[in-house]
Structure 1
Amino acid sequence: MEIDRHAFTMTRMSVRRYLPAVAVAVLLAAQLSACSGDDESDRVRLGKVARSDVAEVVEAPGTVSARASATLRASAEGTIERLYVGDGDRVREGDVLARIGSPTAREQLAQAREADGSLAGGGVSMPAALDMSGLQRRTDRSARRGFAAARKVALKIPDLRQRALVLAGIARAEGEYQAAAAAARDAVARLNAGLGSVGNAFSSITAAQRVQTRAAVRAAERTVKALTIKAPFDGVVSLGGPAGGGGGLGDLAGRLPQQLSGQGGAGGSAASGLAALGGLGGLGGGGAKDASSVATGAPVSGGDAVVTVTDVSRLSLSADVDETDVLQIREGVDADVEFDAVQGGTYTAEVTGIGVTPKESTGGGVTYKVTLVLKEGTLSGGGRAPMPKPGMSAVVNLRVREVTDVLSVPSAAIVSSGRESVVWAVVGGRAERRVVRLGAQGDTTVEVTRGLREGEEVVVRGADAIRQGQELSS
């Protein structure tokens, strides 16, 4: 049986999971000599163990993400008085994007200020035969309900930074109230023991109530200020945005108690202040809006998306790596990236983080999120490739292991036999079974660290059909 022989050589390359048919044909032509044309030589070919560079690659699907994205929402019910931007506009941090007209928010602010002013200026008179203990308990109960409702809605804010700021404000106001309420309870206790006056007890309860009204004024002022929507950072504008996690905090006003039943105008003032605590509004989730529904004069509800700003100054990739491969990934690993949207374009990327939270894949296995920073790309003709847009899908080839100038053979030369890796060497013109140890494993080339010597002949095609001692002479 006549068998063509050749010296197997390979230039440095990045191995990919899938090669175009033309590329495969060229690679085989470069690596393997032409057959004599008979059937046997078509099935079996030989090559020599040679030195080359090998890149082991893990392939994973990926998606492009922007550096940051913020959906800016209406802080209260109203209409868009003025829209200053359009889809695709580039804006700078602090630029005014839209102004919302909201009589409701301004009325709420006026009510909060009125409630606070009535307590601050002594406008609330002390009724005769007032049950101080009952008033103090009702004040505490109203405060607990108000702060609990505010916190419940604040927890629905999708933006983590805004959520933290609002929760911190609620906690600060609640802490101030607890200190004032403790003083009020002490004053009531002294009154009941015959050691204090009714006036002192009433003043202490009023002071505790004013903590609520001051918090409500601050919240309502924040809501009115937020009617002017500004860019939180440099970026590109998209009108509208997705739905949030629930209603805006402005909805809170309708759910808080409007008065304390029983006695005392002071209770009503405090409850009005708590109702205005809903003036934290608009930072929570709300309705989705598409670009066509965002225009000057268009109505909005509290929490509705008005403008989304996306920072595209730095793009990242999120790749879903299979559990069988993720332990090979390290920070700093380089990758080659391809996009269906950019034909002939190849980009580079670098791993910046490896997640630890598992995610079930569509095939029933488990994947882990690997984050990479996306760098510039080049086109097949040598030109600079355009930067992709957030949300585009990609194929990420992570070069988990690269070795240079090592003994290697084509992947087709390796035959798996149980836990062993076998190569058929040619000794004296006959096949000899060799158990080898493998190193870096590329898709077309594999490093051999034990079992072969440079220059030895091996079967590089049809290896799975070879028998021990089979004649393989030239």
Structure 2
Amino acid sequence: MKGVRAVIVPVAVVMCVGGAAVAGQSASPGARSGSGEVLETTKVVAQRLDKAVTLPGDLTPYQAVDIRARVEGFVESIAVDRGTWVKQGQILARLSAPELRAQRAEAEAKLQAVHAQQAEAQARMVSAQSTFDRLKAASSTPGVVAGNDLDIAARTFEAAQAQVDSLMKSGMAAEAGAKAVSELEAYLEIVAPFDGVITERSVHPGSLVGPSAGSMVRIEQVSRLRLTVPVPEAYVGAIMRGTKADFRVSAFPDRTFQGAIARPAYSLDVKTRSMLVELEVANPRLTLAPGMYAEVRWPIARAQTSLFVPATAVVRTSERQFVVRVRNGIAEWVDVRRGEVNGDTVEVFGNLREGDIVVRRGSDEIRPGTPVTTKG
């Protein structure tokens, strides 16, 4: 009997312990589904996205050009230097080109010679025409004029007329050549193409300049500036022309300046995944200067309202991203895409509506179909 008890008692203990474990496992989900979890929830809010992020930017001149001589010559005089303010049309420098003077004299002489030839040919044509007209009138009386003489007079008149036409074309070509030389001489005066400031000067009186040489001076328009900002791809959809953006520069840390979005590039750089956008900046007092680095408070806004939930409501796993919505006391997963963060809330896109109830602190442990007792 003692041997039998020694065997039976351990077996009974094991069976009791195993039964208790099974009972515990089967009771857990039943208890959870029966009473429902008490979770803090919140409503999905619809509002307009209105925020700003800090982006780098560079200030550049509204217009800038390196001025080169259009004809080869020597600098006779130059009236500007670095820092000189100039007006459109103002003479910056004068050049001297002896070759052009010789070309002009040659063109004018050629034109005069053509005009003399034209006068001579015109006289010959008039004489030939008069002879032909007299012979033609006399030929009306039979036997007075030989038929061959009339033909010769006609051919002479036609040749004279053709020579006059040819010289007229030669005269037009000579006039065009003389005009071209005059236009080239006009390039001996270097003028400012727009209002601005001279930022570089690289020549002095006596310097040899020409189309293939380097620039003589550089002029920049700085009363208006361009602020170029590389906008990341995520913010490209919020670009709206005319929107104002504030910015600061290190030279004036206590001041805030403003520009207006004017010219998006409408193309992204494949390396940086950003789009260059130009802002127009008025600079009437010349406080700002090209080359300054700017920190831009870039505005991000949507044309329509967006849905927002607490950032903690969005659950991300290796397979999906979702929020836990509570509908009729039952939990369900709704896949969403994250947008912009606005404070402690995040913009979401998915099958949600304004006023939907979602769990404030989402978790993948809250399985779909789980009964939930909400706590606002």
TM-score relative to the length of structure 1: 0.49
Does residue 1 of structure 2 align to residue 102 of structure 1? no
Higher radius of gyration, 1 or 2: 2
Distance 1:362 1:325 in 2: 16
RMSD (Å) for aligned C-alpha atoms: 4.8
Q: Does 1:387 align with 2:348?
A: no
Partner of 1:214: 175
Structure 1 counterpart of 2:334: 435
Q: Which amino acid aligns with 1:310?
A: E
Residue number in structure 1 paired with 2:184: 223
The answer to whether structure 1 residue 467 and structure 2 residue 376 are counterparts is: no
1:423, CA displacement in angstroms? 3.1
Distance 1:223 1:433 in 2: 81
Q: Please report how far the alpha carbon of residue 407 of structure 1 lies from its aligned counterpart in structure 2 after TM superposition.
A: 6.8
1:89 aligns with one of 84, 90, 93 = 84
Q: Say which SS state the counterpart of residue 105 (structure 1) adopts.
A: helix
Tell me what 2:280 maps to.
Answer: 373
Provide TM-score, normalisation by structure 2: 0.59
State the SS of the aligned residue for 1:223. Answer: helix
- The alpha carbon displacement at 1:79 in A equals 1.8
Taking the aligned partners of 2:312 and 2:90, their CA distance within structure 1 comes to 61
In 2: Cα distance, 1:59 partner to 1:236 partner:
31
Aligned to 2:263: 353
Considering Cα pairs closer than 8 Å and 6+ residues apart, tell me whether 1 or 2 has the greater RCO: 2
2:113 corresponds, among 108, 112, 118, to 118
The one-letter amino acid of 2:211's match is G
Sequence identity, in percent?
A: 23
Question: In the alignment, what sits opposite 1:423?
Answer: 323
Corresponding residue of 1:33: none
Q: Specify whether residues 316 and 452 from structure 1 end up closer, same or farther in structure 2 by C-alpha distance, changes over 3 A only.
A: same
Gaps of 5+ in 2: 1-39, 122-151
Partners of 1:331 and 1:394 lie apart in 2 by: 19
CA deviation after TM superposition for structure 1 residue 204, in Å: 1.8
Match of 2:131 in 1: none
Q: Does structure 2 retain, via aligned residues, the 8 Å contact 1:337–1:346?
A: yes
User: Aligned pair in 2 of structure 1 residues 50, 197: CA closer, same or farther (>3 Å)?
Assistant: closer
- Displacement of 1:77 in angstroms is 1.7
1:299 match: 208
1:399 to 275, 300, 306: 300
Contact 1:49 1:455 in 2 (8 A): yes
Q: What secondary structure, in the 3-state scheme, does the structure 2 residue paired with 1:387 have?
A: coil
Q: Which has the higher strand share?
A: 2
Whole-angstrom CA distance in 2 between matches of 1:56 and 1:202: 81
- The residue number in structure 2 matching 1:313 is 223
Paired with 2:356 and 2:255, the residues of 1 have a C-alpha distance of 37
Q: 1:50·1:409 contact (CA, 8 Å) conserved in 2?
A: yes
Match of residue 78, structure 1, among 70, 73, 77 = 73
Rounded to whole Å, the distance in 1 between the matches of 2:111 and 2:42 is 91
Report if the CA contact (8 A) 1:61-1:394 is conserved.
yes
Structure 1 pair 370/344, CA: closer, same or farther in 2 (3 Å)?
same
- Partners of 1:394 and 1:215 lie apart in 2 by 56
Distance 1:331 1:349 in 2: 11
Using the TM superposition, give the Cα deviation of residue 424 of structure 1 relative to its aligned residue in structure 2, in angstroms: 4.9
